[in-house]
Amino acid sequence: MSGLQLSQDKLLEVYRSMRMIRRFEERVMDEMATGDIPGNTHLYAGEEASAVGICLHLREDDYISSTHRGHGHSIAKGV
């Protein structure tokens, strides 16, 4: 069984998507800490590779469904 082979460009795209998810989560955490965003949330930080890995195999017209930690999936899918 061989692993998935990704081009350099695709690897960069994967990294950028994971980094974008992390930056979003850090921003949400900062905004919540200052009280700018009220309430609570379940952050996706640390799980970025899961969302990006899953969404990497989806077509543009595929749908996704998520749970209370849906930020990562939405960002990885390009929503």
What total number of domains does the chain contain? 1
Q: Is 3 contained in some domain?
A: no
Model confidence pLDDT, tens digit, residues 23-77: 999 999 999 999 998 888 888 888 999 999 999 989 989 998 888 888 899 999 9
Q: Residue 40 sits in which domain range?
A: 8-77
1 inside domain: no
Would you say residue 33 lies in a domain? yes
Is residue 32 domain-resident?
A: yes
H helices of 1-79, in order, are 8-34, 48-55, 71-77
Residue 26: inside a domain: yes
2: in domain: no
In a domain, residue 60? The reply is: yes
Q: What is the pTM of this model?
A: 0.86
Q: Are 27 and 34 in contact (CB under 8 A)?
A: no
- For the chain, what is the radius of gyration of the CA atoms? 14
Overall average pLDDT of the 9-30 stretch: 95
The sign of the dihedral angle between the CA atoms of 58, 12, 71, 41 is positive
- Which band of pLDDT confidence, cut at 50, 70 and 90, is reported for residue 11? very high
